[in-house]
Amino acid sequence: MRRPRIVIAGASSGAGKTTVTLGIMAALKQRQLQVQGFKVGPDYIDPSYHTALTGRPSRNLDTWMMAKEIVREVFDRGSRDADISVIEGVMGLYDGKDPLSNGGSTAEVSSLLDASVILVVNVASMARSAAAVVLGFQQLDPQVKLAGIIVNRVGSKGHYELVKAAIEQVCNVPVVGYLLWQDEIDIPSRHLGLVPAIERGEMAPLFEVLGKTAEGSIDIDRILELAQFDAQWHAPRPSLFAEPRRAPFVRLAVARDSAFNFYYPENLELIEWYGAEIEYFRPLDGEPVPLTADGLYLGGGFPEEFAAQLSARDQVLASALQVVSCGMPVFAECGGWMFLTSSLADRAGTQHRMVGAIPAAVQMQNKRVALGYREVTAVADNLLLCKGETARGHEFHYSTASFEPQNWPFAYVSEGRRGVNQEGYAKGNVLAGYTHLHFASNPKMVKRLLRACQVYRESRLGLGRATAVRGEIS
C-alpha cells in the first residue's frame, strides 16, 4: 500500500514550523485533497489547529509515551483514506528526551516512518550562514532523509534568492519555498483561549490566508512529489488495537467543550474499543453529567478561562458532586482535576467555586508551573493502576493546588526531568491529577476503568453478577 507522507521539522523551536505546516495543509486542502495531520510529541494545541483545518482528528506520534510499534500503528490507523499525511515536528529536528541521542525527537519519528523531512529554517538577518545551519543538520545524522528546505522570515524575494543559492550550492538539497516576515500569517501566541477560538471558527480567515500565501511562495507540487517518493508503506501488525472490539456494555460520560477538550484520540478510541459507549456533554452550556452514565472522564483544557461561567452552572456542579458521592468512577486530568476541587482563583485573584469533590484550592499563576514528560507509579491501587504499576504522560499547566498535605491520598510518584514528586489524588472512586496520561503507555488502564464502570452500573441498576458477566473485561 501507499501512504504519502512528509515531515515538517524545525531547526529550532520558534523557527516557524507550525506556520509552515498549517500553510501547507491549507494549500493542500484548497486543492481538494484529504489531509491527515500528525504532531510529534505530547502536544494538544497544534493538533487542535490541524483538526480545525483538515476536518480530521490530528494524532500525536510520541516514541517516549508509547512503544515504537504503537507509533507506527497510530500512523497507520490515522492515515487511512488520506491523500497525504503532514507530520509536524516538535522543537528542533533532533531535540527529544535525551540530548545524547535522537530518542523522542522528530528525527526518530521520521526514521521510524521512513518519511522525508522538510526543514524549516529561520533565516532572518542571515544569508550564506544559512547553508552552514543546513549542513550541520545534514551531517549530524545522515540516516535522516533531509529532502528539502523552507526558509522562513525572509525580508524580500531577493533575500530568498541569496539564501536559496547558498544552501543549494553547499548542501545539494532543494530549497522548496519561503515565507516572508509579515504579521498576517503569524500564528497567534498560544494563549489559553486559543482552542475556544478555534471551536468558534475564528481561525478560518487565517487558514485561508495561510493557504494562499503558501501556494504563492512554496512549491506545493514539489512537496507532493517528495511525499510520494517514499510512499510505500507496510502496515504493522496491530498491538494497541489487537484484541477484538467488544460490544458496548457500559456508558462513559466525557466532558467536551471549550473548557474541556484535551484528549488523545487513541484514549477515546480505546475506551470505545474495549466496550464503552461515550456520551459527550458540555458543562459550559449547562449540561449536567448524564444520568445514564456509568463513569465520568474529565479531560484537560481551559476551565480557568471560563471559571466564572462554570461557577454559575449550579446544576452542572451539583451533578458532578452527586456522581462522586454516589460512587461513580471518575477520572480527571489537569483541567478536569481543577474543576473537581473546591475553588479556582484566576490570575486576578478572584475565587470561583468549583465542584468541591476534592478538598483543594487552585490558584492560577502568571508563569508556567510545569512542562514535560512524566512517568507515574501508583502509590496504591487506584481506578486505573495497581500499586507499583506505571504509566506515561506529561504535565503542562499554569496553576498550583494547595491542600492539607498530612494524610493526603496522593495518586502517583511522578518522575520527570526535574526529579521525583508525589502527585495527584486517589480516593475511592476518584482518580485525578495534573498528569495527562496516554493510555497507549499501559492499555490495562482502560480495562480497569471500564471494569469499575461495570461494577457501578450493576450496583446502580440493581443487577446481579450473572446479568452482566458476558460483557466483563478480563
What's the rounded Cα separation, in Å, for the pair 196 and 84?
A: 27
What's the rounded Cα separation, in Å, for the pair 425 and 405?
A: 11
Extract the C-alpha cell encoding 123.
Answer: 533565516
Which has the closest alpha carbon to 38: 26, 13, 21?
A: 21
Measured on CA atoms in the order 197, 199, 205, 207, is the torsion positive or negative? positive
Using DSSP's 3-state secondary structure scheme, residue 427 falls into strand
CB atoms within 10 A of CB 192: 14
416 φ, ψ (degrees, to nearest 5): -140, -170
| Cα–chain center distance at 101 | 23
Enclosing H/E stretch for 453:
helix 444-461
Please name every residue paired with 150 in a beta bridge, in sequence order, or none if there are none: 120, 177
Q: Where are the alpha helices (DSSP H) in 55-112?
A: 68-79, 106-112
Query: Is 334 marked active-site?
Result: yes
What's the rounded Cα separation, in Å, for the pair 395 and 157?
A: 42
Farthest-apart Cα atoms in the chain, separation:
77
List Cβ neighbours of 346 (8 Å cut-off, separation of 6 or more). 304, 307, 352, 364
What's the rounded Cα separation, in Å, for the pair 112 and 75?
A: 11
What's the rounded Cα separation, in Å, for the pair 385 and 414?
A: 13
What's the rounded Cα separation, in Å, for the pair 439 and 2?
A: 28
Cell 531577493 belongs to residue: 158
Q: Which of 171, 326, 334, 453 is catalytic?
A: 334
What's the rounded Cα separation, in Å, for the pair 442 and 433?
A: 17
Extract the C-alpha cell encoding 96.
Answer: 527529544
443 φ, ψ (degrees, to nearest 5): -60, -15
The residues annotated with a catalytic role in the active site are 334
